[in-house]
Structure formats: structure tokens, C-alpha cells
Amino acid sequence: MSGGEWERLIERLIASGILKSPRVIRAMRLVPRIMFLPDDQKPYAAVDTPLPIGHGQTVSAPRG
């Protein structure tokens, strides 16, 4: 995943009215989801869906 993909997802979530809080938007830009994913899931970090992180757990979709 490139930083551009993550930024495009954030922009789509803002445009659709899902992301509204400037504090949440800033946090998402400062701490990208890829940092919390195992290596095999990193290519999907900018996909708006929950992703498995191991032990039967998932990281939430960005729209949460």
C-alpha cells in the first residue's frame, strides 16, 4: 500500500460524510492502519473492510 492509497481512502470517507472530526482525520493521517497489520495483510491496508490480524481477531474497517 502506498501513502497515496491511504490518503485517497481518507478523502473518500470525508467526501461521503463518514469522517467528520478533524481530530480523527488528523489521527488517521498521522498513524496509518498499515502499522497495525501483519505483513501478509499490509497490501490491503487501504481497503475499507475489516482485516484479520491473527488469533481469530480483526482490525476494524476504517469507517469503523
Q: In this structure, what are the phi and psi dihedrals at residue 14, rounded to the nearest 5 degrees? A: -70, -50
The answer to whether 64 and 48 are in contact (CB under 8 A) is no
Report the amino acid identity of residue 44.
Y
Quick check: is 2 catalytic? no
From the list 2, 16, 21, 60, the catalytic residue is 60
The answer to whether 51 and 37 are in contact (CB under 8 A) is yes
What residues are annotated to the active site? 60
